[in-house]
Amino acid sequence: MTFPMKIQLFCLGAIFLASAASPASAEEWKRPTAHGGEISRSVGTDGNVYTGSTTRTGPNGGTYTSSSKCVEGVVDRCARSYSGTGPNGQTFSGKRVSARGPFHGRSAGSFTGPNGNTVHGFRRWRR
């Protein structure tokens, strides 16, 4: 599954949760993972703005945190940032923004790896 597809699925999930809830509602949960870590997630809505955050801790000390914000409209817009630390202390981070309209969409992002190098990417697609 491609990264922009994951953003679209996250936004659709947030929209689904928001449609069943009243304005300014929030949902939070936490659970253990299959290999001994823990994941917690929070999703909130306020009108046509959807926010979410995820924190994952691995059994070996690695962590991953992401947060996102989507605004629903004729053109849906989403922004996501994430960062993590491996069990050996190496860090990474990244950002991605996307806009999806009725006929096409685009996304742009960057990723900074443990060695400090940054990679930028851009993608367009048609429906």
Tell me the pLDDT tens digit for each residue of 74-99. Answer: 999 999 999 999 988 999 999 999 99
* pTM, entire model: 0.72
Three-state SS string over 55-123 comes to: EEECCCCCEEEEEEEEECCCCEEEEEEEEEECCCCCEEEEEEEEEECCCEEEEEEEEECCCCCEEEEEE
12 Cβ neighbours under 8 A, 6+ residues apart: none
Tell me the pLDDT tens digit for each residue of 18-44. Answer: 454 445 677 999 999 888 999 999 999
